[in-house]
A and B are shown apart, each in its own frame.
Chain A
Amino acid sequence: MTRRMYPFYFIAIALAFYVVFTVVPSLMGIYLSFTDWNSYVKTIRFIGLDNYSTIFSSDENYMHGIRNTVVFTVATIVLKTIIGLLLALMVNKGIRLKSFHRVILFMPSVIPMLVVGIIFKSIYDPQYGLINETLRAVGLSSWTQHWLTDIQWAFKSVIAVDVWKGAGYIMVILLAGLQAISHSYYEAADIDGAGVWKKLRYITLPLLMPSLTVTTVLNLLYGLKIFDTVYVLTNGGPGYATDVVYTQVFSQFSLGSYGVGTALITVLFVIMTILGFFAIKLMSREEQG
């Protein structure tokens, strides 16, 4: 009965689309990353590891992209998790206008990244931007910066935008986790005379681990694919200060050097397949637990 009532073609349609438009291009990419494929050649030649040695050679700028992508991902995970957790703890209880705050705080995460980029381009403007204007108005003129064009600040500014956009999203997921924790744990802790810190350390955080795993995994997969915000805010500049893998991929695309570009994506593909595999294992284990 099982096989007859749940026929394979139910799975096959989604699977076929997925294979044709995601898996096949990925596999082709692995092959083509070993060739000199670009938009000017007629016949594609096999060139072995040349594209990869270009990417990993210290004379080229590609390592900036990979390094920045990793730094961006780690930094945004840490910042968004800490802020999201604090917000979730606050919104969970003891706050007036709880649902109002919840709606407001989540709002940035539904706005397109591209649009967020444009908005912050205005906010970061060195002359008229909201940040520098405010600093001047309160007498802190010396703190004003060229947020997006100063090599010291550009990458931090991009990270800040992503934290602005994503912290509310993390808050919401962690909030659901918090609300699933039974009150009886805290009541028992009260009887034992545990303080706020001890309750957080020994009850809240351990029981919140499944949710924290999920937010970390989501942030990880999202961070490694970052493109829109960087593209609009800085397009990788100044120099290579904010270049990430996908902005480099896009420049390779515009230049027509498909071989190097596809090798870059393949590097990311390998990293993400490995991480994705562990992530799925983790998430499905948490789900059964």
Chain B
Amino acid sequence: MTKCRISRRRFIQGTASVGAALASMSSFRLLTGSSPASAEPQQGVTYAQNWCEMCFWKCGLTAKVVDGKVKKLEGQPDCPSNYGKLCAKGNAGVFQLYDPDRLKTPLIRDGERGSGKFRKATWEEALTYVAQKTNELKEKYGPETFSIFAHGSGEHSFVELVEIIGSPNYCIPSYAQCTGSRDIGWALSYGKAVGGKEPVDSQNSKCIMLLGRNIVEALHVGEMQDFVEGVAKGAHVIYVDPRFTKTAAKANQYMMIKPGTDSALLLGMINYIIEKEIYNKNFVDGYTHGFDLFKEHVAEYTVEWASQITEIPQTEIIKAAEKLCEAAPHCYIHPGRRLTRYGNDTQFTRIVACLNMLMGNWEVRGGIYRTVGFKYDAPHMVHFDKPYADRADGAGSEEFPLGPKNLGFANKLMEHIANQDVYPLKGMFVYGCNPLHHHGSTEMVKKALENTELLVTCEIYMTDTAWLSDVILPESTYLERYDPVISTGRRKGYIQFREPAVNPVFDTKGGWEIAAQLSAAMGHENEFLDVREYNRLAFEALGITEEYMKKHGVWVANESTPYPVEDGEEEPSFRTPSGKAEFYSNLCEHFSYPPMPSYEENPVPAEDEFRFLFGRLSFHTHARTQNNAWLLALHKSEVPLWIHTDRAKALGIKDGMQVRLVKEGFKSNPCTARVVDYIHPQAVFLPYGFGHETKGLTRITGKGARTSDFTSNLTDPISGAAGFHNGFVKLEIA
């Protein structure tokens, strides 16, 4: 029996959180195998450590394995991603593991593309096939003809494979399709990107303003936990959305905004705060750049003006501004996530950043905290020479100097594949992505796939994209494979470990293994490390052991403060040209972008149209979990389409009726009308990730609408990221 290794300090932390102490203590006993005296250790029960892959937040979890089968997943109590908790998606990982709909063997297309005819292949056959085709294409068009769209813990396995082949065209779509504009906007303002684990200190905040962040339904466990703690402690929550969501349910103030006018609201608030001089003068005077110019610049954006544009009463706008200032600096305006709204999102994010600057909430409790990281000499998984050709999508080029070359523009690259207008782009790899759902135009993606001579998909399910592939390489799920350890920073820095809970249920392999074998089959000198070897080197560099990680799953680094400014350890500092937080962006000026953000009017739908809005449900991720029977049961497989009562009435649509979205003659599958008063009449809302065409997802194929059939396909001029919400649709009764 293992000794319980809870330090005194951690035990106190545990008891500090309401209702959590007992749970964590008990789970800890369970996980460490140190069971309470009353219970016998169960025979045939083992535990394996992992992090969740049902979304991308990477919650630490422990799999309980009974007689060789995974029975239950539970959060690791000490993991700073989730502190012992899992959401519905995380809990449904067990179903995914044993889902008969999973891809079970490698498949090679054996009919017309889209016919769904595949022949089963052995791994050797499939790898040889891909390697030969790849080398042929490379010979014919040059190495830069290859592209890769990759997302998930194994994304770098295929990214590095494509780099080894010699192509610069690798994309992590979460940049262009999700956080790119926000991160660039934040970097221009503060000198640093927000990062995937937004450093907003909800749990200590006195006032939280959310727009572009439905924190409760676009659910990331750690972020949502912090939010609920903040709410429980009495934070004043201001929520802005054209739709009354479950986050709105937790808000003190909800503002139904006219879709597409968010920047007007914030500029109006900024104007008011500056006019009334209720901003944080100490911070603005001491640590910001260009305030006087900015003050002049926003003078025209009065509250009255903002109210007219946004349809929000002036009193509400003023109330929000005052509540924030009363709480400052222990408040924040969320930087937003998936700010892929209207194609001008970097400047919108600049407005969010400027409003935050007025609060002086930098690296203080309840504001923006400093992500605590740690340094260690991470081993290299693979060695190779960097490719030399220019990227086809323009990331990092003269047109998009701020576009990160290591993330790429998935939207632009796909366009260039469709149009073949830069250089031939004939070979596409897809890892853990489903471009037919993730882009602004399905038509464009289909054209790109048609223009591709070799499409290789590495997946666990027969997605719409896999359905059109030439070769499908089935990946093991996260519960069946090792992955290189990951390091993350939140208020603490930490390392997470993944080991297989069970042997692969079907004939599948992990991404790193597949990439390494493909690389070898292509004739490259195979320099991929084995994952376990990589982990061993990482543990050595960290001074920990695999045994420790097998027991705990997570290793938390020495702590430093996430609030260095408030704790008096440092003055606020920013990696901008001025060394200050910039209202007036020197970099924008340098690159000939407007140095201060202005209001830009977005296109509006015609009288008989709706703006098409989409987003997440708390129990689905992107387009990857919709076929999971446990999650489907939560909504009885229904795909709701939100529509305002008055608009529905005019169209003869009643609550619960089956309706179709229509755009330029194209019609969706039926969706279930949810007729409500609490969505702006100009918009309809659809949850993301339905409307699959593939025949391989037996429970969900043909149900609901695919968002990418109805979104706009715009590119932000600064970040190069996508803009989705200028898609306009009509409705008809099914």
Pair from one complex: no
Chain A residues close to B by CB (< 8 Å): none
